[in-house]
Chain A
Amino acid sequence: EADIYQTPRYLVIGTGKKITLECSQTMGHDKMYWYQQDPGMELHLIHYSYGVNSTEKGDLSSESTVSRIRTEHFPLTLESARPSHTSQYLCASSHSGGGGYTFGSGTRLTVV
């Protein structure tokens, strides 16, 4: 079944650690996105990609980085996690021809 997967679902990690949040989709979508959302707050776009080897920064400045080496894979990396990075990170994808986004279930990150 075509879908979008995010791992891990929950992550508690110490300050200064390097982390990578995984996002993969099986729908063949060329566009992919990362949103950040604090509890009870709005979603903010932090990264997006038009396709392979394309990455752009979103509306909200983020210390994270992304890569897009394969169409189906769009990982997000934090080189040195800090408590201010505690949030939920949501990955999404869409098709060039229009239509809606498909979102993953999110990764809830806590940095202690």
Chain B
Amino acid sequence: DAKTTQPPSMDCAEGRAANLPCNHSTISGNEYVYWYRQIHSQGPQYIIHGLKNNETNEMASLIITEDRKSSTLILPHATLRDTAVYYCIVRVANTGFQKLVFGTGTRLLVSP
């Protein structure tokens, strides 16, 4: 699986959009970009994933660049409860074994 690079920490004001970047320059054509978050040592929570098209769900939007070498997770209106560590992971989705390798992620702090 390709390696990802994320900033170690970011700050965001409550109510503003949080834009979390991720670099994955060695991504392969069949690898998806997944985002998870972990709130205060709870179990990680799946947020969203995509291959090459932008994706949106009730939690967030995922913007993937045309060359697929980077992506951005967008939380449109961050709340205090969005304070968490956010992990960007790339992997092949439909393999016989789907091992997730977590890096250090980005620690997002949402402040009032």
Contacts and interface: CB of A to CB of B under 8 A. Distances in A.
Contact of B46 (A35, A39, A100, A108): A100
Interface size class of B (residues with CB under 8 A): 20 to 34
* Interface of B, helix, strand, loop or mixed by DSSP: loop
Nearest to A100: B46
Interface of A: 31, 33, 35, 37, 39, 42-43, 45, 48, 50, 58-59, 88, 90-92, 94, 96-106, 108
Nearest to B95: A98
Nearest to A90: B43
Given A45-B101, A102-B46, A104-B43, 15 more contacts: A31-B98, A33-B99, A39-B41, A45-B99, A45-B100, A50-B96, A90-B43, A91-B43, A97-B94, A98-B93, A99-B46, A101-B44, A101-B98, A103-B44, A106-B43
